[in-house]
């Protein structure tokens, strides 16, 4: 797979114009994720009410894959039950590890990140927003990173 296929149109678009970028006023959950190998440093912020994610945002400096994943993830999270996110994260990770698995329709546009699996060094970039979101959800409510 050519490098230009990795950075397909969707990834480039989310990198140029990330959705839900900036601080989330009233966030109930937050965590910072850092990848020392590439320098990615993101903050995932969530508003969770009655176990349901109502809003999600991110900020920080990151590569195109991390930024695109965070942008797509923050679009996907609202309306989801916080208790289900670990299972969805595992499913996303499985899709990146096994290219023979079919797309997971429930993950919607996040399936478009599957070509990242052909670049093992970039898989951790696609997973950073997920692991940071899980860390935020596991923090006591109102904890600042």
Domains of the chain by residue range: 3-136
pTM for this model (two decimals) = 0.91
CA dihedral (54, 71, 8, 94) in degrees, to 10, reads: -60
Find tokens 């993101």 and name the residue.
42
Over residues 109-130, mean pLDDT:
90
71 contacts: CB under 8 Å, gap ≥ 6: 14, 15, 18, 19, 20, 21, 58
The pLDDT > 90 percentage for the chain reads 72
Which residue, among 118, 128, 75, has the nearest Cα to 97 in the 3D structure? 118
Over residues 71-93, mean pLDDT:
98
Q: State both tokens at 144.
A: 């600042």
**Alpha-carbon distance 52 to 16, whole Å?**
29
Average model confidence (pLDDT) across the chain:
91
Q: Among 33-37, 58-62, 121-125, which range has the highest average pLDDT?
A: 58-62
CATH architecture of 3-136: Alpha-Beta Complex (3.90)
Confidence at 58, pLDDT banded by 50, 70, 90: very high
pLDDT of residue 38: 86
């Amino acid at each position: 797979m050519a490098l230009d296929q990795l950075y397909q149109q969707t990834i480039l678009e989310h990198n140029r114009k990330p959705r839900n970028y900036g601080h989330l006023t009233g966030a109930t959950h937050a965590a910072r994720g850092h990848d020392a190998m590439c320098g990615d440093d993101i903050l995932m912020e969530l508003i969770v009410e009655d176990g349901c994610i109502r809003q999600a945002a991110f900020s920080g400096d990151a590569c195109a894959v991390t930024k695109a994943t965070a942008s797509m993830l923050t679009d996907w999270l609202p309306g989801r039950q916080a208790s289900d996110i670990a299972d969805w994260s595992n499913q996303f990770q499985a899709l990146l590890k096994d290219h023979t698995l079919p797309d997971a329709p429930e993950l919607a546009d996040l399936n478009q990140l599957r070509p990242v699996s052909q670049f093992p060094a970039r898989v951790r970039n696609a997973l950073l927003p997920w692991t940071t979101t899980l860390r935020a959800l596991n923090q006591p409510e109102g904890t600042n990173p």
